[in-house]
Structure 1
Amino acid sequence: MSQANEPMSFLQFKRSQPRPNYGSVSSGTVRSRVYLAMAAFTIVFAVIGGRLVQLAQMEDVPTQEFMSAQDAVAATRPDLLDRNGEILATDIKTASVYAEPRKILDVEETLEGLGSVFPELNNDAMRKRLSSRAGFIWLKREITPAQQQAIHRLGLPGIGFLWEKQRFYPGGPIAAHVVGSVNIDNQGIAGMEKYVDDAWLKDLQKLGFAQGRAIEPVKLSIDLRAQHIVRDEVQKGIQQYHAIAGVGIILDVHTGEVVAMASLPDYDPNNRGEALQPDRMNRATGGTFEMGSVFKGFTTANALASGKVTMYDSFDATRPIRAGGRTISDFHGKKRILSVPEIFIYSSNIGTAKMMLATGIEAQKQFLAELGFTTRMITELPENAAPQLPKRWGELAAITISFGHGISVTPMQTAVAAAALVNGGRYIPPTFLPRTAEEADKLSKRVLTEKVSQAIRYLYRLNVLTGSGKRADVPGYLVGGKTGTAEKVENGRYNPNKRRNSFLSAFPMDDPRYVVLVVLDEPKPEKEGMAATAGLNTAPMVGNIIRRVAPMLGVMPRPTTEGTQTIEISY
């Protein structure tokens, strides 16, 4: 059989078939299309991935504004404590609500939701802010837990909360002008709060060492128990004598520590808005006033210290004196020659002026400067007013200054100067921080001899026993002091119907521990037909303070025969 007749195998048949014609597309073209499709898919996935990364960054990486806000609210302040460890100011956590406008999906829905909790936010200004591309804006600071829960339930995209530190004052207004207050960013703006910031806390915060860390508490010299009593008695006095304002101070005469200081009307530092009202100012260190006859103690001390006047001298107070076209007379004049003790207990303007003239104007200026009356007093508090001195310190000015007119000083300056008169003659700068007797000795300067200081203590005690300060006496405590009444100046003239009364005291006068000063602004008669002198209002207020506060401060009464609590002097 020939090969032509043999059957063909499958392979032979496949090779023998002609190739079909599918067109002119080459294999290279097909591969290009495959690669192009792969590239397209790669690009699409890259775009999607990039967007996801962007969204992740928006969600996880906070903006600079957010980070700044977070750092600010995380800053910690130290607790402020009284001298016995009682908390005067502390931090508590509170929520604040914020928005990140670029994450908000529906501005109108967000605005409506926020307005349901905070109606004041539902306005065009807020709509504009929420429609911006800002990274962070505050909506409401220091909200209540109920408000936070209400916002949280709305589930609004782009709305969140930050926990921040809010300052809390457990005692409310009790020590407002000492402790001070902070702004909404927890930064000190008044009182010891501002002192702490300026002294070291600002620097600590800048270095990042006050972020969420516990800071050592700051202890003050204030005794919260005494502070409560002083504020309470001043408040009662304002009400009882229908005054417009009042001040109360307790000062340790051996260390210069301010144990209590109240100025009313005051404010609750938990309510910042109250602190901005003009009548809530700190009158104790931030207000200057003519202090009236309490200055006679300083004039007498200067006269005795000069050696030109002794306790056994007398001055003619029979007739008024003329100076600079003015007539100087006595309120209740005895119209006779008065001894130095009589001039003091009868509060004679004529006798005091003559003692000053015997001492000399320059000696007066120098002594008042040594007592801190001619310059601004520096304390830890930022509220320290400068004294108002006469433009021309001539004879008339010197005479009126001798009995507390023509010069305006702060009540704190008056209390600190009085401490120097009774503590043995050492001027000690005041402080609102704890200070030991040894530390005070290093800061003190001698302005009087012990002998003169002892004489002033005798006069103070004598005035409470037989003079205008009788209503300040507290059996067992040897209280001494001097009343002061100063007419207020209106339109350049003294108004006899408006006065500022004060009582400057110390106890116990045989070995003084504390100065107590009370001032009432525009007191009225307690009852119709009564007078409104310092002896009738501020003197009993001081007595009430000493009666309540002395045992707390460790000063126990000493039983003595009523009316014979005198002190011995060797002059």
Structure 2
Amino acid sequence: MAVEENNYSQDDTVSLGRASVEDIRNSRSRLFVVSGMFIFVFMALIFRLIEVSVFKGGKVFTVKSYDEFYDDDIKTRADITDRNGTLLAVNLSTASLYANPKVILDIDDAVKKVSAIFPETDAASLKSKLSSDKHFVWIKRNLTPKEQYKINELGLPGLYFKEEEKRIYPHKNLMSHILGFVDVDGKGISGIERKFNTYLSGSNNIGGVNEALQLSVDIRVQSVVRDVLSDAMEEFKALGAAGIVLDADTGEVISMVSMPDFNLNNPGDADHDAKFNRATYGVYEMGSTFKVFNMALGFEKNNLKLKDIFDVSEPIKVARFTIRDYHQKKKELTASEVFMFSSNIASVQIAVDAGEEAQREFLGRLGLLDELEIEIPEKSEPLYPDNWGKVSAVTISYGHGIAVTPMHVASATAALVNGGVLNPVTLLKKSRFSFLNSGVRVVQEDTSDKIRKIMRLAVKHGTGKNSDVEGYLVGGKTGSADKPKEGKYNTKVNISSFVSAFPMNEPKYVVLVMMDEPVGNAKTGGFTTGGMVAAPVAGEVIKRIAPILGVTPVDENDYEIQKEFWYDNERDKQQVAITAVE
């Protein structure tokens, strides 16, 4: 068998080897180029990811992760405490949710999942935010821990958390009209929070948070006043109410309650009526409580004596008006009895004797014609006639034709029972703030002594009987005033009030109660007067707060006590026996 001859030569073999080596070298070069391209693209993607997620996105709980879009550092807000150091307002750390729409992969999916966690969120609005060309949009501020956990579970790119602070009010409704509240960015927009926003949001000399702002309010007393007012509003189906407790000697507000109120942690849920401060912003004709000031006017300007006699047997006609007493008694009354039984007729005589100019000057001296200096923005100026003539003087003598806030009445009354010094009312604890104004004398001490006596007599024998609390020598004055509407008085609705002080031998506190449009019931015989509605409410407040404030009961049968508040009822036993109801 013939063997086939090999046609490959040595030279051919060498040539093939050289070609293979060259091909391998070329392949390696191409591989390096392709690999380099892959590495370049990969590095570019890494850089872009870093750019998006770090420089234009955010990191969980990185304080400055969004400063490029929201230029405002977190600043811890100072606490607010009551006079005893009880915490009233404090900032707590929370997480807020924001998004970088540029990083959102599936907008519809994100809207669906986020809306499921926040049912109150409007899906259309959320989609609009996530579809924007911005790098930063808020989704929801101040998440609960549970909400934050659920968002984390979603694992959606483009959603981030921002550490913030939320203002918390531990006592919820209790201090709503004193503290006010802050907006979502922590800026005070009402009450103490607004008035002292600069201080509360500022820092001290070493860069730390300012120390707590200490108020004059006692949260224990505040709680009692609110509870009693709440019960009274329910009992008398009242439209609203206000309660005030003042330190008679300093002007410090120990309690200030306006009803209805609202939860400071959810101010957005409150309506206008709940946010309205009846104690310092609402102005009302306060009725016969003004007779306290009218009697003081008589003592100061007319040299009025407690035993001076007034004829109240007939109504008084002034211009087209006829002035009558609530229960007409064809009798003569002493000045003490005029106050005890709340005589409009005699009050008019006192005002007319003093004169319009003297009356206006005196009420201005008591601060009843000017806006209060109290440290909250929710306050109003009194309303009174520009043309202060005889008719105005007559009606103002018994609390009509002039409208003031309940706090005005409490403040002026404090001056008349504390020896005659008017102290600007304040919500700050005076011992902590030396810049607070001191008081000025507005009446003589003798006038103050007489006012204390007749206020005590009005409770012991007159219209304020329902406010008396054994051992605390309560003194006060009732007030009832029909509410004006469309240029005339609505006789079906009224303001029922009672201003009081205790103990009257050495007054320490002033207590005022006002009920707005109460409805009479079987217990009051259908009456809605100050003596039947507001006086017993004030009495309940005094009974409960006196022990808290350390006021020691006295023996009302003590000789010195009886001597100071002695009343000669032998002159007219029949008159004293009258249960006056304004």
Instruction: Show the counterpart of 1:107.
Output: 107
User: Residue 527 of structure 1: which of 490, 504, 522 is its match?
Assistant: 522
100-109 vs 273-282, greater mean Cα deviation: 273-282
Give the aligned partner of residue 379 of structure 1.
374
Tell me which amino acid in the other structure corresponds to 1:248.
Answer: G
CA shift digits 1:528-559 (9 cap, x unpaired): 74422211121111111111111111111013
**Counterpart in the other structure of 2:285:** 290
Change (3 A) 1:66 1:49: same
Instruction: Report Cα offsets for 1:387-433 as digits up to 9, x if no partner.
Output: 11113211111110111000000001110000000001001000001
Closer, same or farther in 2 for the Cα pair 1:371/1:275, shift >3 Å?
A: farther
Structure 1 residue 200 corresponds to structure 2 residue 194: no
Letter in 2 for 1:200: Y
Q: Where does residue 357 of structure 1 map in the other structure? A: 352
Matched, 1:79 2:75: no
Distance in 2, Cα, partners of 1:462 & 1:111: 71
- Evaluate the alpha carbon distance shift between residue 174 and residue 122 of structure 1 in structure 2; reply closer, same or farther with a 3 A threshold: closer
- Offset at 1:446? 0.7
Distance in 1 separating the partners of 2:68 and 2:396: 55
Change in Cα spacing, 1:73 to 1:313, as seen in structure 2 (3 Å) is same
State the one-letter code of the partner of 2:111. Answer: L
The equivalent residue for 2:459 is: 464
1:446 matched to 2:445? The reply is no
Matched letter for residue 350 of structure 1: I
CA distance in 2, matches of 1:68, 1:479: 64
**Secondary structure at 1:261's aligned position in 2?**
strand
Residue aligned with 1:367, SS: helix
Conservation of the 8 A alpha-carbon contact between 2:430 and 2:436: no
Question: Paired residue for 1:300, among 289, 295, 303?
Answer: 295
Q: Is the 8 A contact 1:465 1:563 kept in 2?
A: no
Q: Which TM-score applies when normalising by structure 1? A: 0.87
Match of 1:396 among 388, 391, 394: 391
Residues 1:562 and 1:475: Cα distance change in structure 2 (over 3 Å)? farther
Change (3 A) 1:256 1:166: same
Per-residue CA deviations over 1:176-216 (Å, capped at 9, x if unaligned) read 1112112222221111111220x4245559x995xxx5542
Q: Distance in 1 between matches of 2:125 and 2:326?
A: 64
Contact 1:460 1:480 in 2 (8 A): yes
Say if 2:193 and 2:200, in contact at 8 Å, map to a contact too.
no
Q: 1:322: Cα distance to partner? A: 1.7
Q: Percent identity of the aligned residues?
A: 39
Q: CA deviation at 1:145?
A: 2.0
Is 1:558 aligned to 2:554, yes or no?
A: yes
Please tell me whether residue 231 in structure 1 is matched to residue 226 in structure 2: yes
Distance in 1 (CA, whole Å) between partners of 2:463 and 2:432 is 33
1:285/1:334 CA distance change after superposition, 3 Å: same
SS at match of 1:396: helix
Counterpart in the other structure of 1:20: none
- Map of 2:23 onto structure 1: none
More deviation, 280-289/290-299: 280-289
1:73-222 to 2 correspondence within 5 Å? 74-121=74-121, 123-197=123-197, 199-202=198-201, 204=203, 214-222=209-217
**Is 1:264 matched with 2:259?**
yes
Change (3 A) 1:53 1:208: farther
Residue 233 of structure 1 aligns to which amino acid in structure 2?
V
* Residues 337-387 of structure 1, C-alpha deviations (whole Å, 9 max, x = no match): 322111111111110011011111111111111111111112111111111
Separation (CA, whole Å) in 2 of partners of 1:201 and 1:90: 11
Is 1:545 matched up with 2:541? yes
3-state SS of paired residue (2:280): helix
Determine the C-alpha separation between the residues in 2 that align with 1:484 and 1:349.
12
Against the structure 1 CA distance between its residues 202 and 69, is the aligned structure 2 distance closer, same or farther, given a 3 Å change threshold?
A: farther
Does structure 1 conserve the Cα–Cα contact (< 8 Å) formed by 2:368 and 2:382? yes
Question: Following TM superposition, by how much is the alpha carbon of 1:464 offset from its aligned partner in structure 2, in angstroms?
Answer: 0.8
Q: Does 1:53 align with 2:47?
A: yes
1:561 counterpart SS class: coil
1:440 Cα deviation after fit: 9.7
Equivalent AA in structure 1 for residue 131 of structure 2: S
Query: Aligned equivalents of 2:81 and 2:418: distance in 1?
Result: 28
In 2: Cα distance, 1:447 partner to 1:567 partner:
27
Residue 18 of structure 2 corresponds to which residue in structure 1?
Answer: none
TM score, norm. by length of structure 2: 0.85
Q: Deviations over 1:252-282 (max 9, x none)?
A: 0111100011111111111112444334411
Pair 122,491 (structure 1): closer, same or farther in 2 beyond 3 Å: closer
Matched residues in 2 for 1:122 and 1:421: separation? 58
Measured against aligned partners, the alpha-carbon deviations of 1:302-329 in whole angstroms (never above 9, x if no partner) come to 1111144332322222211122311111
Mapped to 2, the partners of 1:215 and 1:282 lie a distance apart of 28
Equivalent pair of 1:308/1:358 in contact (CA under 8 Å): no
SS at match of 1:403: coil
Is contact 2:188–2:194 with CA below 8 Å preserved after alignment?
yes
Residues 71 and 77 of structure 1: CA distance in aligned 2, closer, same or farther (over 3 Å)? farther
Partner SS state of residue 291, structure 2: helix
Who is 2:15 aligned against? Answer: none
Question: 1:133 Cα deviation (Å)?
Answer: 2.2
Partners of 1:255 and 1:437 within 8 A in 2: no
In 2, Cα distance between equivalents of 1:546 and 1:408: 26
Aligned length: 535
Work out whether residues 65 and 135 of structure 1, in 8 Å CA contact, stay in contact via their aligned partners in 2. Answer: no
Bigger Cα Rg: 1
Work out whether residues 177 and 282 of structure 1, in 8 Å CA contact, stay in contact via their aligned partners in 2: yes
Partner of 1:500: 495
Following the alignment from structure 2 to structure 1, what is the Cα–Cα distance between the partners of residues 73 and 143?
14
Shift of 1:73: 7.5
**Letter of the 1:108 counterpart:** D
Cα 1:239–1:336, aligned 2, differ >3 Å: closer, same or farther?
A: same
**Cα-Cα RMSD:** 3.1
Stretches of structure 2 lacking an aligned partner (at least 5 in a row): 1-28, 58-63, 567-582
Which runs of 5 or more structure 1 residues have no equivalent in the other structure? 1-34
Paired AA for residue 154 in structure 2: L
Q: Which of 218, 221, 242 is matched with 2:237 structurally?
A: 242
